[in-house]
Amino acid sequence: MVSTSLLPLESPSPAYICPYDQACSYLEEAARELKLDQNILEVLSNPRKVVTVSIPVKRDDGEVQVLAGHRVQHCDILGPYKGGIRYHPAVTLREVSALAMLMTWKCALVGIPYGGAKGGIAIDPKRYSIGELERITRRYTSELLKDIGPSVDIPAPDMGTSAREMAWMMDTYSVNVGHAVPGIVTGKPLSIGGSRGREMATGRGVMIVVREALRDLGNLVIGTRVVIQGFGNVGSAAALLLHEAGAKVIAVSTGSGGVFAEKGLDIPALKAYAAENHRSVVGFPHAEPISNAELLTLPCDVLIPAALENQITEENADQVQAKIVAEAANGPVTLEANRALDARGIIVLPDILANAGGVVVSYLEWVQGLSYVFWDEDRVNRELEYLMVHAYRQVIQQSKARQIPLRVAAYTLGVGRVAQALSDRGLYP
């Protein structure tokens, strides 16, 4: 068992599956397959830096609340740290640490020169005004000034944050260094150096790997029955792109519930409906209500969990009826559930591959920001297409060559590249 000495222990409920323990299990599985040196495994199993800062914020009513903000930097062997900032009540240090580790393997898998990082604050952004969120974001950024930078650590949006928060982060950093620094964050508005295609990037990446997997099965996207759990930025983008490609998206859900239509949902109309109803799809006309639990077990060709982690577990894996499960979220399928799905012949497209489109276009945005040369959306999408298809093909080849599941194949590629780089660079001093 790898050590995790840099992180505090938590005591959640017995049914809780710790994301960090699960991430370490994936690392160990890849290490066994690669016959990785134990010393290298020890280095890779621990984050390089764990930062927790105090964020005092004055609420609109004058009350001062003190929040805790985290930033975990897992590994910078291949390049600067990269990872999102998450605002969600369930944020914990170990969850953020797990996501930072996954980012390391994800970046290595798709061949971009980044290491993994992740940040977060345990708040429900819906309970804060825009002014309060701005004060929280700016204070959090100022506390991290020594730990982030365009060649050090480049944050991005994640659950609960958006281009708006990235604009505040960029401005705070820029004001403190005395000049505009567009490369400090990605996922920014276009007006201040954001990239065209970034908003749809993660969903587009999901669509691309689903299309390739269907093609390998001898099927087309046209007529494919798709179910999507989660209708935020990623889920809605994947839904729209698959709908435009001819797929039938028969069910979609948000945290408050979902909708089902046997003949397929009108996704553009559903997006408009959700925008007018606090991002909820509940009550959408010409569709039947469905719960999140029921949605995961619908008969379909492709199931896309695009919400939170630990959605498909040992308890419901035997009820999944999809042919392909594409992990648009981070860690929606547990390790044991993945094994159960593999045993039933269900293809699981792992998160470090399926949802890598976001970090790919973040990388392209960073490159544009550093060069001050900006591309049109067609070029961005072409670059994304190439990197995603190339990574998918390498995972398939690795899976066949080693006779291992796709997830293990993806991890052996990502972990193996970082391990090789660590071996080549050596240890300082």
Domain boundaries, the chain: 49-180, 201-349
pLDDT of residue 21: 86
From residue 324, give the alpha-carbon distance in Å to each of 22, 246, 304, 334: 22, 17, 8, 16
pLDDT of residue 14: 43
pLDDT of residue 308: 83
pLDDT of residue 31: 96
- 201-349 maps to CATH 3.10.450.50: no
pLDDT of residue 5: 47
**pTM value surpassing 0.95:** no
> Which are the catalytic amino acids?
118
pLDDT of residue 12: 47
Nearest-CA neighbor of 333 among 21, 22, 13, 10?
A: 22
pLDDT of residue 4: 47
Give the pLDDT confidence of 83-141 residue by residue, as tens digits: 999 999 999 999 999 999 999 999 999 999 999 999 999 999 999 999 999 999 999 99
Place of tokens 């914020």: 57
pLDDT of residue 9: 46
pLDDT of residue 8: 52
Pick the CATH number of 49-180 from 3.30.930.10, 3.40.50.10860, 2.160.10.10, 1.25.40.10: 3.40.50.10860
- Return all residues near 328 (Cβ < 8 A) that are at least 6 apart: 202, 203, 206, 228, 230, 234, 235, 238, 304, 305, 306, 351, 354, 355
pLDDT of residue 7: 55
CB–CB of 305/230 below 8 Å? yes
Note down pLDDT in tens along the chain; length 429 residues. 444 445 554 444 445 567 788 888 999 999 999 999 999 999 999 999 999 999 999 999 999 999 999 999 999 999 999 999 999 999 999 999 999 999 999 999 999 999 999 999 999 999 999 999 999 999 999 999 999 999 999 999 998 999 999 999 999 999 999 999 999 999 999 999 999 999 999 999 999 999 999 999 999 999 999 999 999 999 999 999 999 999 999 999 998 899 999 999 999 999 999 999 888 999 999 899 999 999 999 999 999 999 988 899 999 999 999 999 999 998 899 999 999 999 999 999 999 999 999 999 999 999 999 999 999 999 999 999 999 999 999 999 999 999 999 999 999 999 999 999 999 999 888
Omega before 429 within 30 of 0, i.e. cis: yes
Q: Tell me if domain 49-180 and domain 201-349 are identical in fold.
A: yes
CA distance 398 to 417: 13
